[in-house]
Amino acid sequence: MSEHAAGGRTPLDRLPEWAALRKHREEGDLQLRGLFQSDPYRGENFRLSVGDLLVDYSKHLVTEETLALLRDLAAATGVAELRDAMFRGAKINITEDRAVLHTALRAPRDAVVEVDGENVVPAVHAVLDKMAGFADRVRSGEWTGHTGKRIKTVVNIGIGGSDLGPAMAYEALRSYSDRGIAVRFVSNVDGADLHEAVRDLDAAETLFIVASKTFTTIETITNATSARNWLLTELRADKEAVAKHFVALSTNAPGVADFGIDVANMFEFWDWVGGRYSYDSAIGLSLMIAIGPDAFRQMLDGFHLVDEHFRTAPAEENVPLLLGLLGVWYGAFFDAQAHAVLPYSHYLSKFTAYLQQLDMESNGKSVDRDGNPVRWQTGPVVWGTPGTNGQHAYYQLLHQGTKMIPADFIGFAKPVADLQPGLVAQHDLLMANFFAQTQALAFGKTPEEVAAEGVPAHLVAHKTFKGNHPTTTILATELTPSVLGQLIALYEHKVFVQGAVWNIDSFDQWGVELGKVLAKRIEPVLLTGEDTGNHLDSSTAALVASYRALLGR
Ligand code: F6P
């Protein structure tokens, strides 16, 4: 492959800006203890804010010079140009020849965003208005089921981007939700998921939302078909009942009609919305029913605020740019393989799972935009669960293991407004842990400090913390709908920045296709035992034979 590939872009690791960073890394002594000692104001200087989010990046292994060199790399790799192309609707998803316009989903009513010469904003708001009308009718009890009963449970059936976003946000904004309507999420094709979701429900009071961009995803169509059968059996009704209990969220109107859902009850979105960027589209209907249209719009405003920041803030103040570049720095020059996201809010229990798809499906790539193998690290393994639970499980490895795992700590000054008064005092304890962890990770404890505590010599090494583990702290006043939107947009754009620097297509997901094809081939073999196409290798064939034997087939 030529050095200057089809796109004419010099490979990342041949850029002088890359070489400058490498040299800087090799020559610099980036120890957090030393960095803090040499700048007593580092904690105040190395922080930025966007909207309601305060972002402290002082506990990173960087100097002003590092950051300047990283910004040079962003300039050399055309991050700003690609960003502008995304916002104006250019088809930057090159392998699918699609625009990437999740930012249009939260654009104000009077904005103009064109795809193929057509302003898409009026259509976005028409769908939002239709969703709001429907959500209000369900919330008020005006929309009833087939037997006239009011809806008490909404079951969202979808997977990947058609599940993780609304499920995460419903959990995050539970305290804003109408507690009289429960929302459940079914995604897994394992029948246990649907079984547990409906086993205690009254079908007459249940609304199913079938969420699928393509309306061809096997898990979703299978679960939706089973849910329809369950409903009709429970209600002892014919298919007329479906109209009052099933709505669809999709880009595929014919697919929805084929399934038997009236397209009048379909909420549309468009192929320029990627699945993992879609929960602020019609895919958010279950969330909107839970929290109401006003709170949903506040969330969209939060997204938009960060979109505008990303689009217009100078590089030195641009938070998504900064966070993206820090990840590039650790992947390239510290060989970091993973990134932990550790929210200190129980309501964010599904936040990291959501980010896993956003980040890993976007940037889990190993060829560049021209199809050449990349010679640099791309997306990290993203993982994490809410503090303080993780502290009593895997933080040991963060503190004393051999891996370099940069981490984001996300916390809030106030607990949610409706927390029982008797529990409010616990919030300081939660946040004391939040602050303590990044301090411990950054500064550790030297053998001298351990010995000075009277620890016997043979235990000193075991009780030493080498520190110097980089973290970002994101602090906001409280977890509101707007703040959630701000946080998600921040991560969306961080992922964008990294994809742009790495020169990969962050908007396709071909890596999920092979498994789907093979599963389709294997399923009939499980039933018949006949591998007619001779598709199975000896391991898989033997496993399938054992499976069949266990079932007595
Ligand atoms: O297979 C991966 C994927 O395409 C995701 O990108 C997407 O979010 C998910 O499947 C669900 O797709 P759909 O919304 O079309 O059912």
What 3-state DSSP class applies to 290?
A: helix
**pLDDT of the residue at 1:** 35
Protein residue with least CA distance to atom 3, ligand 1: 160
How far does residue 522's CA lie from ligand 1's centre (Å)? 21
384-407 tens-digit pLDDT: 999 999 999 999 999 999 999 999
Atom of ligand 1 nearest to the CA of 250: 14
Cβ contacts of 504 within 8 Å, gap of 6 or more? 363, 365, 367, 368, 369, 374, 378
Which of the residues in the chain have pLDDT under 70?
1-7
308 is catalytic: no
Please, which residues bridge with residue 410 across strands? 343, 474
Within 7-63, residue ranges assigned H as helices are: 16-27, 32-38, 42-45
Active-site residue, from 3, 26, 27, 392:
392
CA distances from 495 to 106, 296, 356 (A): 18, 24, 11
CA distances from 305 to 115, 221, 272, 299, 488 (A): 22, 36, 21, 10, 11
Q: Measured in whole angstroms, how far is the alpha carbon of residue 226 from the centre of its chain?
A: 28
Token pair recorded at residue 354:
């959501």
How far does residue 211's CA lie from ligand 1's centre (Å)? 10
Burial (Cβ within 10 Å: 0-12, 13-18, ≥19) of residue 214: middle
Protein residue with least CA distance to atom 9, ligand 1: 160
How far does residue 79's CA lie from ligand 1's centre (Å)? 27
Token pair recorded at residue 151:
């809806």
Amino acid at 424: V
Is residue 411 within a helix (H) or strand (E), and if so which, with residue range? strand 407-412
Amino acid at 13: D
Backbone angles phi, psi at 180, to 5 degrees: -85, -10
| Residue closest to 153 by CA, chosen among 114, 190, 202, 105 | 202
Residue pair 394/304 in contact by the 8 Å Cβ criterion? no
Atom of ligand 1 nearest to the CA of 220: 16
Pairing mode of beta strands 53-56, 206-211: unpaired
Q: Is the dihedral of CA 213, 218, 223, 229 positive or negative?
A: positive
Atom of ligand 1 nearest to the CA of 217: 16
Q: Which of 95, 98, 162 to mutate for ligand 1's pocket (most ligand atoms within 8 Å of CB)? A: 162
- Cα 350 to Cα 520: distance, rounded to the nearest angstrom: 30
Burial (Cβ within 10 Å: 0-12, 13-18, ≥19) of residue 388: middle
- Cα 435 to Cα 455: distance, rounded to the nearest angstrom: 25
Residue pair 103/86 in contact by the 8 Å Cβ criterion? yes
Cβ contacts of 229 within 8 Å, gap of 6 or more? none
Protein residue with least CA distance to atom 4, ligand 1: 275
Predicted TM-score of the model (pTM): 0.97
ipTM score assigned to the predicted complex: 0.98
How far does residue 330's CA lie from ligand 1's centre (Å)? 30
CA distances from 135 to 138, 275, 381, 496 (A): 5, 22, 37, 32
Ligand 1 shell residues, CB under 6 Å = 159-162, 212-214, 217, 220, 275-276, 361, 509, 512
How far does residue 101's CA lie from ligand 1's centre (Å)? 17
Atom of ligand 1 nearest to the CA of 513: 1
535 is catalytic: no
- Local structure of residue 285 (DSSP, 8 states): H
In 100-152, DSSP assigns E strands to 114-115, 118-119
146 is catalytic: no
**pLDDT of the residue at 8:** 72
Atom of ligand 1 nearest to the CA of 159: 11
How far does residue 508's CA lie from ligand 1's centre (Å)? 11
Active-site residue, from 239, 403, 466, 516:
516
**pLDDT of the residue at 5:** 43
338-347 tens-digit pLDDT: 999 999 999 9
Pairing mode of beta strands 118-119, 266-268: unpaired
- Cα 305 to Cα 483: distance, rounded to the nearest angstrom: 10
How far does residue 357's CA lie from ligand 1's centre (Å)? 10
Cβ contacts of 22 within 8 Å, gap of 6 or more? 333
Residue pair 271/123 in contact by the 8 Å Cβ criterion? no
Within 270-375, residue ranges assigned H as helices are: 285-291, 293-312, 319-333, 351-355, 362-363
- Local structure of residue 149 (DSSP, 8 states): P
How far does residue 98's CA lie from ligand 1's centre (Å)? 16
Active-site residue, from 309, 361, 427, 493:
361
Q: Which of 156, 509, 510, 520 to mutate for ligand 1's pocket (most ligand atoms within 8 Å of CB)? A: 509
Q: Which of 96, 102, 159 to mutate for ligand 1's pocket (most ligand atoms within 8 Å of CB)? A: 159
In 68-152, DSSP assigns E strands to 114-115, 118-119
**pLDDT of the residue at 411:** 98
